[in-house]
Structure 1
Amino acid sequence: MTAIAISGPGGPEVLKPETRPVPQPGLDEVLIRVAAAGVNRPDVLQRMGYYPPPPGASDLPGLEVAGTVVAVGPGGDPELLGQAVCALVAGGGYAEYCVAPAGSCLPVPAGFSMEEAAALPETVFTVWHNLFERGWVGDGETVLVHGGTSGIGTTAIGLCRLFGIRIIVTCGSADKCAAAIALGADHAIDYSAEDYVEAVKTFTGGAGVNVVLDMVGGDYVPRNLACLADDGRHVSIAFQRGMQAEINIADLMRRRLTMTGSTLRARDAGFKALLADEIHKMLWPRLAAGAWKPAMDQSFALADAAEAHARMQAGAHVGKIVLRI
């Protein structure tokens, strides 16, 4: 098969086509003939040498795919053969074939193209687990999400609209703020032009938000805490501005704030299967009914993976970038 490998840490140009053996599914795994693969920020970090795959995972980038099941491993359900699925994987998505845990596969929702389906697993699993499970967000609450036009941000906007949650996002320009509002955000803040902490307080009438979903880290963390209402929850999923932050513990105690966070890639197959089951039950019927589709930015041929990475790093995209295989 043809795959896109990382020839060494560096810029997009280190992504090189290679010919590799088709991988074989192991226990409780399936082999997917890939039709499309999502491009995500962790792929960029892996390419740069900052985010190695977990033990046992493919060294190829790619954390989400959509395609057709063409083989099942020992213990697999033969009824999966021939089914169109999208899947969360720990690596290997930038290829014509990819092995996935059977428990991390979900059927392609009715009315979705393969490219749209490939744009679902990584961001939907991440947003669902961190915003709804770890952040305990509920109907009528308000959240703040940074990077409002990223894959995570646009997915958060979509899911919040589905479940009656108000969402405020931050973006790096007026144009991106307009794009976020068009996608359904209740308010968008241009962080290059105004203080997002003051903007949040103004928009909420001084009440603050119930949850912050943060992928920035560093000096954003104390500012995020200032945006929270009493009993608010701060959920960290990345640290683009650094792994260290200084916070006021007394304020944390006085306002009964909760700080948590997670990474998804290294979690075991059992956890991801449980998460997939919950998402399938809670979200998939709404997708099949046409209630939401992911915001799609651009698609690129597999051979043009370097161009896809360059677009993501340039930060001009709105929504998901995918590779066509």
Structure 2
Amino acid sequence: MLTSIRGLTAATLSAGLFLSATPALASQTVPEEAKTDIHTGDIEISEDLLAASAALDGTDARAPALSLTPATERASAPIEDGTANSVEGESGFTFSANIAFATEYRFRGVALTDGEFAVQGGFDIAHESGFYVGTWASNLDETTVGYGSAELDVYGGWGGNLTDGVSADVGVIAYLYPDAGPGDFDYVEFYGSLTFGLGPAELTGGIAYAPDQDSLGSTDNLYLYADVGVGIPDTPITVTGHIGYTDGFLTFTTDSEAVDWSIGAEVAVGPATLGAAYVGVEGDALIDPTGTFTDDAFVVTLSASF
């Protein structure tokens, strides 16, 4: 369930130095004052040539230094630790993965594992432009709502900063139930949210809309929600709160309306987060005989992102 994704060698350098010096050598001619006796091989050097040679000794007649283009400089520079495997980063794409273990799986307040343990995880690929695609999966209780034993979500969208302290996220998600029984269960939902940073607090308001589909009983479904998280200064602890309103098929009620809520806290240590929340949902005909489908519950989740 979507919640809320490389040197130049010495030979090359030597060749470059040789080539840079070649034009100077090619343009030199032997002056008439320097003549070779073909019989003895001795070179007769005139006084004028000796004077010219002495004058050259006092001038800067060195060959020009080798000039490297920026691309060559990068190629000849040593590879630094931490950049040897930066090809993926330079392409603009980032790959991430996540995994979670929860005492139960709650979707908008409703228990989809019938109070049993849930194993969840997914993968995301994001581009520096803000566009992303991803997938997420969880086990289900086969008899709770008849969706089978597994849920697979596939989604894509765009997320990024609009202004300083304000970010947005929009996209579309497909909820798939690969081993559900006969009938239509898969459905598509569009979502969008705005997040505001206010000092140590973050406030998110969002909407999710599933249009008319056979799997929703030929009706639509609207979900509105607000999330708040407040970090406690100088600690890894964040206090969280959530409230949501559902109008449509996914309330599992007779009047198609329900309100879900939660309050909890999270502790983040490196890539791992340990969270605990008290979750509830209110609505007509929500209390089932077993007491596990929509009753309030204390849910503990251990998750990690890589």
Instruction: Compute the TM-score of the two structures, normalised by the length of structure 2.
Output: 0.23
Higher percent of residues as helix: 1
Q: Which structure ranks higher in relative contact order (CA pairs < 8 Å, sequence separation ≥ 6)? A: 1
Quick check: which one's strand share is greater? 2
Q: TM-score, normalised by structure 1?
A: 0.22
Which has more radius of gyration?
2
